[in-house]
Chain A
Amino acid sequence: MTLKATLAGGLAALALMAGMAAAGPVKVGMITTLSGGGAGLGIDVRDGFALALKLAGEAGSAVTLIVEDDQQKPDIAVQIADKMIQSDQVDVLTGIIWSNLAMAVVPSAVAQGRFYLSPNAGPSALAGAGCDKNYFNVAWQNDNLHEAAGAYANSAGYKNSFMLAPNYPAGTDAIAGYKRFYEGAAAGEVYTQLGQTDYAAEIAQIRASGADSVFFFLPGGMGIAFMKQYAQSGVGIPLVGPAFSFDQNILQAVGDAALGVRNTSQWSKDLDNAANAAFVAAYQAEYGRLPSLYSSQGYDTANLLLSAMAKAEVSDQDGFRAALEAADFASVRGDFRFGPNHHPIQDIHVREVVKEGDIYTNKVIGIALEDHGDAYAAECRM
């Protein structure tokens, strides 16, 4: 295992070293969720990010990383951001998981001349009219995986979908995204409370709706609760969803109930490219668990940062921004580039939940959308 880890680390470091200038130090403030029901997501982003820095060796040690827990509360996230900008003097902010927190922090951070690299949240407001030259999203625009789920629903022949999402910016983006590509009818459209854990009332509505498929977006603990209750309810209408409800950590808590469910993701642990193979092996060696979608996004965010540091000093804002726009790094998801609004253009895959030994995980079974950008880019004026 150690040999493998060293090899993998060496490979990744070599890949980064190629064409590297001596990078000046960069101070990064990471605001993420490390406690409460959404803690798993933030921990994975942090661990993925830290792993990339570690594997980069000397280039990685030029990054000073400050991590703080936002407790999934917008007011706390704003306080931390103010502290990081004013007293810690960070150059780059990153880490936020939840769209409502991103909306509270990002506009003011970029207005104060900091870079913000989003490893997760991608609310539509920041992709369209509210875009900013210093804001980059390394994961996806919120709608993307849902759009892919809509495209997949068409190809699977679904004609009457029941849609379920929590009532917050990413939830409304989710259903908007699904409906943008899905061509069938709506059997129902329900918004639940953020953080809700009992879905008995919604499942009863699904049962009575006569739908032929259920699209749902419920990240973190909400998804676990829904999937378990859905499996026990005996409803049995096929589920479709984005990868958030089927990430590596959730699947272990859901168990058999998730087997066979199709979900859409820009990343999967079995994507066949060298950067991904090195990442998955190194992550397992370092943390003793499989990486999740969120880990991959944290890892890519750090590698994007390192690639820009290799080309320009962060004090040279225009040069650094151009280096970020070039996205000159090997993403673990394969092909990756930024669109005009600094949001990804990438392939989105369809995965199926399978069991490998005792571990529940995902396997890529096809592609939902190729070279997919987002619907808001045209509204963005930088």
Chain B
Amino acid sequence: MMLLAEQLLNGLQYGMMLFLMAAGLTLVFGVMGLINLAHGALYMVGAFACAAVAAATGSFWAGLAASLGAAAAAGALVEVLVIRRLYARDHLDQVLATFALILVFSEGTRWLFGSFPLYLSLPPLLSGAVSLPGGLVYPAFRLAIIVIGAAVAIGLFWLIGRTRLGLRIRAGEADREMIAALGVDIGRLYTLVFALGAGLAGLAGALVGAVQSVQVGMGEPVLILAFVTIVIGGIGSIKGALVGALLVGMTDTLGKALLPGLFARFMEASAAGSVGGALASVLIYLLMALVLIWRPQGLYGGAS
């Protein structure tokens, strides 16, 4: 029972982390119609910025702020220099150009920081485990990720639904020529949205870097999951990204936790581990296929 509760929390935490990645990706895809493979590279930039600043200043919080800033700045720079030229091109050109960006970022980071993983230590406030009501012991930092994810979700809903900027983002999604004709500087709006998405990816990278490891190429596995998430949730929808991320996080974690045990009831442990593990890792793709059969536009995608 305790085990199941802990696994549910793990799924929730994983989902929140995916949401931070997917939110930026879905905004960029929805508003600008751009497939951005370099989103994982921005995640890596955030992690490295956090590790470097935390090592220099000794403060994890300064590192966290730096991760947001550095990734947003890198995002804005990339948008102005490269991405801007891609909006009118087809998706294949976008994929090629942003894939090139992955290589540039990876090699650039390797050149700056080397191939060995960096160390990112946690602030004392968040290290160790806390006891939750009911006697469940859970790592404090993973709880913090859940809280930060939830706060970002609320902030984004407010931003998109209740502010003038959000109004423009929604309008840009619906009809970009019309809002340009109404006098909105669409170029600046795009740069802003891209930087916002990049900043969130950087934040996710820093948070994950603190529990995993900060190394070159850390962004690509997460990127694939983030794409799965936004396809399930419906492209362009923040609500879809949140629901999709939680679905993917729960499915993946519970599948990994429960399936090998299920198979171990009738086969040898190593075979059960590999069969259960293999099935668990395709479970999210199965979920994606089912959702797409049921709703081809994703759970919250607009009909198009």
Contact = CB atoms under 8 A, between A and B. Distances in A.
**Could you say which of B106, B141, B215 has the most chain A C-beta atoms within 10 Å of its C-beta?**
B215
A198 B2 contact: no
A189 to B, nearest CB: 4
A100 interface: no
A232 B137 contact: no
A197 interface: yes
Contacts of A232: 122, 127-129, 139-142, 211
B139 A253 contact: no
Interface of B: 2-3, 6-7, 10, 13-14, 106, 110, 115-119, 121-122, 127-129, 137, 139-142, 210-218, 221, 253, 256-257, 260, 269-270, 273-274, 277, 281
Interface of A: 34-37, 39-40, 43, 167, 172, 175, 186, 189-193, 195, 197-198, 200-201, 204-205, 207-208, 221, 224-225, 228-229, 232-234, 249-250, 252-255
Contacts, number: 118
Given A43-B115, A232-B122, A234-B129, A36 B270 contact: no
B277 A193 contact: yes
B256 A201 contact: yes
- A-B complex: 9 closest residue pairs judged by Cβ atoms: A234-B129, A191-B273, A39-B115, A200-B10, A208-B3, A225-B212, A224-B213, A189-B269, A204-B6
B7 A204 contact: yes
11 contacts: A35-B217, A39-B216, A190-B260, A195-B221, A200-B14, A204-B7, A228-B212, A229-B139, A232-B122, A232-B128, A233-B137
A175 B139 CA distance: 28
A272 to B, nearest CB: 28
A306 B200 CA distance: 53
A221 B212 CA distance: 8
A228 B3 CA distance: 20
Given A43-B115, A253-B118, A228 B6 contact: no
Nearest to B119: A253
A193 B281 contact: yes
Given A37-B217, A189-B269, A233-B129, A228 B211 contact: yes
A86 to B, nearest CB: 28
A40 B270 contact: no
A35 B110 contact: yes
